[in-house]
Amino acid sequence: DIQMTQSPSSLSASVGDRVTITCRASQTISRYLNWYQQKPGKAPKVLIYAASSLQSGVPSRFSGSGSGTDFTLTISRLQPEDFATYYCQQSYSTPLTFGGGTKVEIK
Amino acid sequence: QVQLVQSGAEVKMPGASVKVSCKASGYTFTAYYMHWVRQAPGQGLEWMGWINPNSGDINLAKNFQARVTMTRDTSISTAYMELSRLRSDDTAVYYCARTSGVVNSPYYYIDVWGKGTTVTVSS
Residues in chain B: 123
Interchain pair B61, A95: CB under 8 A: yes
pLDDT at B7: 98
Please, which pLDDT band fits residue B42 given cuts at 50, 70 and 90? very high
Q: Would strands A62-67 and A70-75 be described as parallel, antiparallel, or unpaired?
A: antiparallel
Please, which pLDDT band fits residue A86 given cuts at 50, 70 and 90? very high
Summarised one tens digit per residue, pLDDT across range B20-36 is 999 999 999 999 999 99
Residue that wins the pLDDT comparison between B101 and A35: A35
Model confidence at A12: pLDDT above 90: yes
Mutate which of B45, B60, B65 to test chain A, going by most A C-beta atoms within 10 A? B45
pLDDT at A40: 96
Q: Return d(Cα B21, Cα B82) in angstroms, integer.
A: 9
pLDDT at A64: 98
Mean pLDDT, to the nearest integer, of A70-74?
Answer: 98
Mutate which of A39, A49, A54, A89 to test chain B, going by most B C-beta atoms within 10 A? A49
pLDDT at B106: 87
Q: Find the closest chain A residue to B105 by CA distance.
A: A50
The backbone region for B10, taken as left when phi is positive above 0, alpha when psi lies in -120 to 50, beta otherwise, is: beta
Model confidence at A2: pLDDT above 90: yes
pLDDT at B104: 84
Q: Return d(Cα B5, Cα B22) in angstroms, integer.
A: 5
Query: Which candidate from B45, B62, B105 shows the least CB-CB separation from A87?
Result: B45
Nearest to A103 by CA among A89, A88, A86: A86
pLDDT at B97: 98
Mean pLDDT, to the nearest integer, of A76-103?
Answer: 97
DSSP assignment string, A27-42: S--TT-EEEEEE-TTS
Are the C-beta atoms of B76 and B19 separated by less than 8 Å?
no
Summarised one tens digit per residue, pLDDT across range B56-107 is 999 999 999 999 999 999 999 999 999 999 999 999 999 999 999 888 888 9
Q: Which residues of B touch A7 (CB under 8 A)?
A: none
Q: How far is CA A30 from the centre of its chain?
A: 16
Please, which pLDDT band fits residue A107 given cuts at 50, 70 and 90? confident
Q: Return d(Cα B97, Cα B45) in angstroms, integer.
A: 12
Q: How far is B22 from chain A (nearest CA, A)?
A: 14
Instruction: Write the CA distances from A34 to B16, B30, B42, B55, B79, integer angstroms.
Output: 35, 23, 21, 26, 24
